[in-house]
């Protein structure tokens, strides 16, 4: 009988841990979606357009150049088919006082150029 109770208790602990991990993953996903919505709002506000992903697709280099490095990297990781983790974008140069836009216009791969090149696929972390 004691062995059965220990086994049952162990199964309950495993079930609890599994549910906790699932909730943590869902929480992180919800946070990313919320941050992405805020970023879409910010980009649309820069263009003085209604908040929508369709309008964000109309952003130009100058709009992405106004974002902070962390925002650009989050945007890239959420949407780019090749760069799906923050480690994947670590090599990209961060925006630095207007130079990034000039470099991006000249074909240099940096955060601004990669973000502006995205064709607006569905959010990567929701695939």
Identify which of 33, 69, 67 has the alpha carbon closest to the alpha carbon of residue 53.
33
pTM of the entire predicted model: 0.72
Per-residue pLDDT of the chain (127 residues; tens, 9 = 90+): 555 556 667 778 888 899 999 999 899 888 888 888 899 999 999 999 999 888 888 888 889 888 888 999 999 988 888 888 889 999 988 777 667 778 888 888 889 889 988 876 555 444 4
Find all residues with CB under 8 Å of 51, minimum gap 6, and list them.
Answer: 40, 41, 44, 45
CB-count burial class (<10 Å; 0-12, 13-18, 19+) for 95: buried
């Amino acid at each position: 009988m004691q062995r059965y109770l220990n086994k049952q208790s162990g199964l309950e602990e495993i079930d609890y841990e599994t549910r906790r991990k699932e909730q943590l993953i869902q929480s992180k996903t919800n946070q990313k979606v919320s941050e992405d919505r805020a970023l879409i709002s910010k980009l649309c506000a820069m263009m003085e357009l209604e908040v929508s992903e369709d309008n964000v697709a109309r952003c130009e280099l100058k709009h992405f150049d106004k974002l902070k490095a962390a925002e650009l990297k989050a945007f890239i990781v959420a949407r780019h088919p090749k760069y799906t983790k923050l480690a994947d974008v670590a090599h990209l140069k961060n925006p630095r006082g207007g130079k990034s836009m000039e470099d991006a216009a000249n074909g240099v791969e940096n955060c601004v150029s990669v973000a502006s090149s995205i064709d607006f696929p569905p959010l990567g972390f929701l695939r």
